[in-house]
Copies of this chain bind each other. A is one copy, B any other.
Amino acid sequence: MKPLKVGLLGLGTVGGGTFTVLHRNAEEIRRRAGRSIEVAMVADLDVDKAKQLVGDTGARIVPDAREVIANPEIDVVVELIGGYGIAKTLVLEAIAAGKHVVTANKALLAVHGTEIFKAAADKGVIVAFEAAVAGGIPIIKALREGLTANQIQWVAGIINGTTNFILSEMRDKGLDFDVVLKEAQRLGYAEADPTFDIEGVDAAHKVTLMSAIAFGIPVQFDKAYVEGITKLSSVDITYAEQLGYRIKLLGITKRADKGVELRVHPSLVPAKRLIANVEGAMNAVVVQADAVGATLYYGKGAGAEPTASAVIADLVDIARLHDADPQHRVPPLAFQTSTLRDAGQELPVLPMSDIVTSYYLRIRVADEAGVLAKITGLLAGAGISIDAVLQREADEVGGEGSLQTDLIILTHDTREGDMDKALAEIQGLPTVLAPITRIRKEELN
């Protein structure tokens, strides 16, 4: 059978890894796919660098991605350029030219996925994106194909290695965020401009995709709540530890009665959960579903070859399955495109005030009689019940010799809107001496 001819757009880290692995494991891949997978063309602006990597493998190198798309011999276009700009244009042009598309571009799909998947469905081509979420972990396949029997209840994942590395280091070494970020940049775990990672944007792109696949809704990155780790203090990591929790940046999407929760933020997770023990730059995703219960998927979420592993798995899928009936073969978002729920209507993404979770609160208070009673009274008045309280010994003398302390409160599940109101009242108390720290807590059970 003739080879599957691939055109690679972009020969950076992931493109280079894809090229390398396709060549190193060509024989195994051919035995699995039933035909060779051959990189026939590579488009990269840096033609000389590309030539060095490609060597004498026979792949044609061009500076213009459109030459790849225009080549009738190319079966699949692999987009590894990234970003929302030219990548979007090229993906749509490749689809229009009847090419299957493989992409690792989570940003593009989380924002423009609906348009892209629609174009692909109209044209009868496959758009595959295993590499867009959690690198080499086949989590898209698990959600889209492995758990199809289930009503999925929630998905929660450590899906950004940079932030998990930073949080692991903060905990292990008791260091502050800024110090660890610099170290992470030095070691290559964080980029020179780390904003997308540390502000939670990258994780939000990924959880947006998982949300659509889990619940049969369109991708709606604009509705996601996004909070990063830049304001996390190491004192909260320490307190959490004392209470039996770790702090992780989680991407969470949950099916609630009236809609879907879609959020990224630091979260306390019980230390005994497997996912709480995922350290360093590793990724893990837990899926809770009605028939199977909880399943967890763990591995490397980034890097040249782990990401290439996912890109190539998509290519093998295309080699195996491209001739299945396009109306029924595996749909990009797990649900047949015609059955996706109307975003605004049937299953809306809920505003943060309507999400339900539990909380960790750190409140800097004057160490006076009645402070605890006053605060817990306000919480009770808002219908918020308390799971645990940790009152520290007074540790600081303020002005006029007054004593201060940290009051740590863990709550049971409550509506975030109710918590917001209660916190506004508590913040207004004269005995509350600093802005309250509030971190959400996920029991994941």
Give the interface of A toward B (CB within 8 A): 1, 17, 21-22, 24-25, 28-29, 31-35, 130, 135-138, 141-142, 145-151, 216, 274, 277-278, 289-300, 305-306, 308-313, 316-317, 319-325, 327-331, 334-336, 339
Contact = CB atoms under 8 A, between A and B. Distances in A.
Across the A-B interface, the 9 shortest Cβ-Cβ residue pairs: A138-B146, A149-B312, A136-B292, A295-B299, A324-B324, A292-B309, A34-B328, A296-B298, A148-B316
Contacts of A292: 135-137, 299-300, 305-306, 309-310
A296 B293 contact: no
A320 B309 contact: no
A334 B298 contact: no
A278 B295 CA distance: 12
Please state the number of chain copies in the assembly: 2
A319 B328 contact: yes
Contacts of A322: 324
A48 to B, nearest CB: 26
Given A299-B293, A299-B296, A28 B141 contact: no
A399 B408 CA distance: 61
Main secondary structure of the interface of A (DSSP, over half): mixed
Contacts of A290: 24-25, 305
A37 to B, nearest CB: 9
6 contacts: A25-B151, A141-B145, A148-B317, A149-B313, A293-B305, A295-B299
B312 A148 contact: yes
B306 A25 contact: no
Contact of A313 (B145, B312, B319): B145
